[in-house]
Structure formats: C-alpha cells, structure tokens
Structure 1
Amino acid sequence: MNYHILAPVRIQTVVQLPASKSISNRALILNALSYSPYDIKNLSDCDDTGVMVDALNSNDNHFDVKAAGTAMRFLTAFLSKVVGEWVITGTERMKQRPIKLLVEALNSVGARVEYMENEGYPPLRIFGSALQGGEITMSGGVSSQYISALLMIAPLMEKGLTIHLEGNIISRPYIHLTLQLMEQYGVKAHWIGSSIKILPQEYKPVRFTVESDWSAASYWYEIMLLSKNAEIELKGLFKNSFQGDAKGAELFARLGIGTAFTGQGIRLYRNGNACPKLTYNFIDEPDLAQTFVVACVLTNTPFRFTGLQSLKIKETDRIEALKTELRKIGYILQDSNNCILEWNGERCAPETSPVIATYEDHRMAMAFAPAALVLEDGITIADPGVVSKSYPYYWEDLKKAGFEVKTK
C-alpha cells in the first residue's frame, strides 16, 4: 500500500507529540531493574516500545523484537543478568544488523551469549546469570545503544563496571540521557575523560513521566519551513530536555524557524534567518539527519553534513536510501568516507509520479512526507505503516493539519 500526500494552502494546528521512544525504552529497563511498583506515565505507544513492554511482561523465554534495534540491544544486556535461558530474534533486516561488539563486551564481564545463526548477528541464545563486571574497552564510534545497554546493568554487576571509550565518541547525548535517567532511579556514575565508572549500587523505584519526542518534533519544524503559511504548536516538550535531538531547534533556527516555549510545549515561528549553506556534524544527533537533508534540498540550501557513520547500520543504510530517493525527485547528493553527505545544488530530471521507498525505516517516511508542500503533484510514500515504529499517529496528525492522505 502507498499513501499519496497533498498539502493544504494554510496550516494551523496543535500537535500532541508522541512520547520519546528513547526515554521510554530506557525507563522500562530501569523500572524493571528497580522492581518498581509504579507504572510509567506517558509511555510511548510505538512499535519499539511495544515489543519492550511485551518482553518484560512475558512469561516466555523466546522474544521477537521485530525491527526494534533499541529493544534488541537493551534486552540482550538485560536478559544476560536474568537467570534462565533466553532466545531473542527479529526481522530479516534485524538479523543483518551487527551486535558482535555488545555480545563480546557482555561475555567479557561474565555473560554467556551465543549466536544461533551467523556470527556477529541475531538471533541470540542467552544464558542469564550473575555478572562479574570489571573493566572493558570499547570504541566510542559504535552505536551508543551498545554502551547504554551495558551502563544500565552495570550497577548490578558484582564489581560494577568501568567502560573505557576509545576514539571519537558518537551520539554522546544518548549516553548522557542514559546516565541522567539512571540518576533519577538512584544510581550515580562518574564520567571522567573517556571513561565511565559505575560502582555496585541498587536502583530505587520512582514515579516517572516520559517527555514528548524531539525527534518527532523535527518533522513539524520541516513542515513549518516548507510551508508558506503555517501556525504550529507542539505539546509536551521541555525547555531543559535530556534529549539530544532537542538540538534540532537550534539548527532549524539557522534555516529560519524559531522556537518559543510555552507552558505546554513550543510554538514555531519564522525568525527571518536564511542560511546560505548549512554545515553541521551530526555525530551526536544522527536521527535528525534525514529531516535536515530533505529540508535543505527542498529549500535550495546547500549543505555538508558529517558524523553520519551510524546511518549505515540503522533500519536501512540511510545514506544510500537518501541518495536513491532524492534522485527520484530531482536532487543529486554526494557521499564520502561512509560518514559525509553533501549537496551543492546538483539537480537531475525528476521521475514522473515518483514513489518514495521507505526501506522499513520510519524516518524515511516522515522526512519525505513534508515534500508535498513543495512538489506540485504532492508525493507518494510506499509502506506508510512504518511510522508505527516511533510515531504511530503521524498520518492522522498530518490530516488534522489539513493534509490529504489518500491510499494509492
């Protein structure tokens, strides 16, 4: 099934954004580790969080996390310290997403995790037991989810855990997010230089409410940027957010969209800025890259984006996906070193009635849908149901804002 999106002439809308998936999934693990009697408030209802909830509430020993990379990594670490024998698997794409570094790190501190098919990849068989802990060294260039998965179980290891991070640390805000949430649950960590040390401690149950998702907000910033006439309010966002993707507000300010904080969230407005070229290192905010790539080309803003190495191992190879799909609508991107993507105004003839493939990637669908505001005949998105991974009501929210969303 495809959706064909047509944009309204004027947009006036108030959006209740979905809860943060990143915070929800961490809070679920911390709630379980603290044996909390409290339900988490405003928990995300996206696919990734749903599989986490199902797994943590299950009496089974076999878990299918589908396409949820966060759940795969967090649950692998969590189950390694829960006594029992467990199996964790996912979609065919999940079976192609590497997990070797996390498995090796866990096994080095006393876990027993085995590959069931191909070495270095799910599915996994986990023999859960008490973990010894100690010191490990990891590349700072790996997915922050590997590091966060280890950090959350670290205080329950017999010796605690010290992680020495080598090289450039990517997605640093996500590691900070994990440590800040752990502190809310009563555990303190020491991050000095490139080493994070966590002594043996106990989590304390707390009442917890999840903030709305700044990653989801980015698509509405994009809509505001591409629309000639829009009034948009986004509810549930905090000014002093733990989320790294809150940085998107500063970046969109350079493109011309300002942010006013209200008592309930934010209001978007035009600030008069016009950036001649946007240069930015997305090492800390890789999930914003697709939004800004599409937003820039559609406003004829040249860009050079670095720090994109983790995009190669996301739901799809997002660098190749962006190049392929933007060519369909007339834009030629250049990439280099597996971590740089740029556009200097190169164009090509667009396809007639292009259909944007989404590659089982929610962010491809949500980043490209606002293109309907610029393309005369709107835009067609394939497999639109992928948005359920993080923003299940995205299409409904577009309809409320006046977009036509038709099955095609």
Structure 2
Amino acid sequence: MTISYPGGPLRGHLRLTGSKSIANRALLIRALTPGGFAIHGMAAADDTVRLQQLLVSGEDVLDCGPAGTTYRFLTGYLCRRRGTQLLTGSQRMKERPIGILVEALRTLGANIEYAEKEGYPPLRIGYSALDRSDRVSIAADTSSQYISSLLMLAPTLPTGLKLTLEGEIVSLPYIKMTLALMEYFGVHHHWEGQTIVVNPQYYQARDFTVEADWSAASYYYSLAALSESADLRIDGLFADSLQGDAVVHKLYEEFGVTTTFTEKGIHLHKPAGTEPPALFEHNFVECPDIAQTLMATCAGLGVQGLYSGLQTLFIKETDRVKAMKTELGKLGVSLYKIPSRMTEKTGINYFAQEGRADFAAGTPRFATYHDHRMAMSLAPLALLHPVALEDPAVVNKSYPDFYRDLTTLGLTARED
C-alpha cells in the first residue's frame, strides 16, 4: 500500500476506535463476573474480537494467533475453567516467552504443561482450584500483561492473592489501569509496599463503556507535528484517562501541537511556522507503545532523539527497536544504543537517534514485521513524501479503520 498527501494544512474530524487494552480487560472481567454485563464502544481490533470469541468457545484447541494480550489473559483464565484446553498461537507467539506467568500460576497450584518448547507457547491448561498458595512474587520489570492476568484472577481465588512485584516496576500505568477497572466492578485492593493485596471478592456486574484509544491518537499527533499546520478534532478521548499513553498530548507540545479537551474529545492545533525542538528526550517506561511514533516524528523533522525505558519493546510482536533501526535506516536516519560504559553511573540503557528523513531515493518501502505499530507509526511520514507499507492489513490487530480514517484527513491510501 502506498500512502501519500497532496500537501497543505491538515484538517479533519474523526472518532477513534475503542481502546484495545481497556476492552480486553473488560472482557476478561466480564467472563469472571456472575451474570456478565454489557460492554459498549467495544474495540473493533482483531485481538479484541479474538478474545471475545475464545472466551465463549467450547473447543479444546484455542488459537490466539498473534494476539499477545489475549494469550496472556487466557493463560490465567483457563486455569479456572473446567476441562483441559490447548492454548496456542502464531509462529511468532510461539517465540514469545510465557514462563514467568506459568511459574507464577504453578505457585498457586495451576495445572499447566508446555506442549512444545519449555518456557514458550503452546500450553496445555487444565482446571485447578488454585489453592496451593495465595502468595506470588514476580519480577516487576516483566510484562504488565502477566501481572494483569494474575490480578484479574485474584478475587476469584479461595484466599485471594498477595502479589509482590520485585525490583523496579515498569509499565505502571497498565497495572493501574487493571486495578482501576477491577475497582469499577467492585473489587478492592491495597498496597503493602510493593505487594498488591486482593482479598476474595465477587465482581459486580455494571454496564461499561470503552474509552477511545490514546495509542491510536498518537498517530494523529505525529501527523499534526509533521504538517505545515494542523487543525484536528478527535472524539472519544478525555483528560481523565486510565491509559498511560494519554501522556502523548503533553509530549507533542514540544513539537508545537497543542491540545484542547472538549465535551466530545480533543482539538489539536499546530500553527504555521512552528519550529521543532533540536532534541527530544523521554523515558518510555510507562508508555512504550508510543515510542515508535515519536521515533518516526523525530526522523521526519530531523530532531535528535534520546530514548530510555525501551526494554519491553524487545519482546513485542517483533523486536521493535531493531525494526525501527532498520526501517529508519532506509531514510538515512540512525538509531543506536549508547555504550553501557557511558551510562554506567545511572544503569539506564539509552538509545540515540540522529538524522533527518531523506527521500531522495524515491518512495521508501517499509517492512511491518507482522507488527501493527510499525505500520501505523511510519505511515504519518507520508505527509512529507509518499511511503509504501508491506502487509498493510497488519493494522487490523488494533485499528482496522486506520487507513479509512487517514483518508478523511485528505491522505490517499492506494493498494499496490
């Protein structure tokens, strides 16, 4: 697919899809709630549709495809479902580690076996009372999806759960999102240091509306930053958000994009003549899903980048740092890790980015690595020059209407 823009100010009005992160948590909680409840504004993402189907499936083999959140949430949920199921996924899913979550569930008494390679999907999961223990420790810098899978299961356990997070906590907003949704459905918790305590309780059925996705909004912030001027209205987003990626509206102020919150959502504005910063620096530990978006924006504007908190990006749908290094390299932009000896006092891993996107060689063809965020983070560069995306349908994982929404803003998305 080739995406292009005729030029001129960027104008438009659209409504974003629901947040996949929120929708998936709501679906899992509904499955654990006596009587269930209605969910409005459900995300149209493939991951969410797949989770919704698998939660009610009576099949013995459940295929999550490439959906990581779906796989991790079901790993915990199936421990409480009668019978035995084989939980599998795509080839890439079989390369993504699951051992930390499996060991935590086994501590509680889970009946889980590795069907192929030790430490990786697929898993054979049988029913268990999960009454061996009510205490689990897990590395705090692991995927928040492991932690959320355990937390949502916690109130249904015979004696609840005391979940200790060991070390520096990463992706805290996603953990807070899970706990906030549990509170909405009547399940309370408290912290004892870095231990989250959830006593045995019942989820209370309440109708729920899914907030729009701030991760998806980041691509429109990137478009606005790359435009000569912008005036965009996006419905469904609110200032009081559960999503860590809501910080995007503050980050793009450095690029001259201002945000006004309205009754329906947000109004983005960038005046003509805005100069980008010389340097953009940020720690993405609490918002890793928008890191690629900012990398692409900096590349398009020639802004030097200094990034940290990228550790979870190495185990996503692809190694996202490596993938961005390769694709931005096609434009003459370099992304590299700063040697550890230069940061040994802080112990933080930094990545630097230098250069401005050069389209002299013609239309770049970007690989997307079976990763929806690769496609959507690179697409806004079309405001500067036409870009081609391989496997464009990968966006269906989280945002099926992405290209349609781009066309409402005046961009063209043409199948090759």
Shorter-chain TM-score bucket reads over 0.9
Q: 1:46, 1:346 → 2: CA distance?
A: 33
Unaligned runs of 5+ in 2: 341-347
Is 1:101 the counterpart of 2:100 in the alignment? yes
Kindly indicate whether residue 383 of structure 2 is the aligned counterpart of residue 384 of structure 1: no
Indicate the residue corresponding to 2:129 in structure 1.
Answer: 130
Instruction: Give matches, 1:7-406, under 5 Å.
Output: 7-9=5-7, 10-132=9-131, 133-270=133-270, 274-336=276-338, 339-345=349-355, 351-375=361-385, 378-406=386-414
Q: Shift of residue 163 of structure 1?
A: 1.2
For residues 350 and 118 of structure 1, the distance between their equivalents in structure 2, rounded to whole angstroms, comes to 46
In the TM superposition, what is the alpha-carbon distance from 1:15 to its structure 2 partner? Answer: 1.3
Q: Deviations over 1:10-65 (max 9, x none)?
A: 33211110100000000001111113442200011111101101111212121111
Please provide the CA RMSD for this pair.
1.6
In 2: Cα distance, 1:353 partner to 1:225 partner: 21
- Scaled by the length of structure 2, what TM-score is found? 0.94
The verdict on how the C-alpha distance between 1:298 and 1:89 changes in structure 2, with shifts beyond 3 A counting, is: same
CA contact (8 A) 1:86 1:128 kept: no
Cα distance in 1 for partners of 2:333, 2:109 equals 50
Q: CA deviation at 1:8?
A: 3.0
Name the CA shift for 1:36/1:275 in 2 (closer, same or farther; >3 Å): farther
**1:380-403 CA-partner distances (Å, limit 9, x unpaired):** 011000000110000001111111
Distance in 1 (alpha carbons) for counterparts of 2:48 and 2:197: 28
Distance 1:348 1:177 in 2: 40
1:194-215 superposed Cα distances (whole Å, 9 cap, x missing partner): 1111111111111100000000
Letter in structure 1 aligned against 2:142: V
Contact 1:24 1:44 in 2 (8 A): yes
Contact 1:155 1:201 in 2 (8 A): yes
The offset of 1:351, in angstroms, is 4.8
Label 1:144 to 1:37 Cα distance change in 2 as closer, same or farther (>3 A).
Answer: closer
Structure 1 Cα separation of the partners of residues 357 and 249 of structure 2? 28
| Aligned-partner Cα distance in 1 for 2:237–2:47 | 20
Distance 1:348 1:407, change over 3 A: closer
Q: In structure 2, what is the Cα distance between the partners aligned to 1:106 and 1:355?
A: 43
Check the 8 A contact 2:38/2:206 in 1, yes or no. Answer: no
144-153 or 296-305: which moved more?
Answer: 296-305
Pairwise CA distance, 1:335: 1.9
Q: Deviation digits for residues 229-251 of structure 1, max 9, x if unmatched?
A: 32211110111001110011111
Query: How far apart are the structure 1 equivalents of 2:57 and 2:305?
Result: 47
Paired with 2:359 and 2:402, the residues of 1 have a C-alpha distance of 30
Moved more, 338-347 or 362-371: 338-347
Match among 2, 5, 16 for residue 4 of structure 1? 2
Equivalent position SS for 2:282: strand
Alignment deviations for residues 78-134 of structure 1 (CA, whole Å, 9 cap, x no partner): 011112101111100000001000000001101111110101110110012211141
Is 1:330–1:350's contact at 8 Å kept on the other side of the alignment? no
Tell me, in whole angstroms, the C-alpha distance in 1 between the residues paired with 2:275 and 2:159: 53
Query: Which string of whole-angstrom CA distances, capped at 9 and with x for unpartnered residues, describes residues 148-180 of structure 1?
Result: 000000111112111111111110000000000
Post-superposition CA distance 1:315-374 (Å, at most 9, x none): 000000000000111211112569532113388896543210000000000010110111
**Partner SS for 2:239:** coil
CA contact (8 A) 2:186 2:204 kept: yes
Q: Distance in 1 between matches of 2:289 and 2:32?
A: 27
In structure 1, the residue matched to 2:345 is none
1:354 to 1:54, Cα distance in 2 relative to 1, 3 A: same
Match of 1:27, SS state, is helix
Contact 1:82–1:130 under 8 Å retained in 2: no
- Contact 1:6–1:403 (8 Å) recurs in 2: yes
Maintained 8 Å contact 2:141/2:170: yes
Q: Is the 8 A contact 2:61 2:85 kept in 1?
A: yes
Is the Cα contact below 8 Å between 2:300 and 2:357 reproduced in 1? no
CA distance in 2, matches of 1:259, 1:348: 29
Identity over aligned residues, as a percent?
A: 44
Q: Which amino acid aligns with 1:186?
A: G
Tell me the distance in 2 between the aligned counterparts of 1:43 and 1:225.
29
AA at the equivalent of 1:106: L
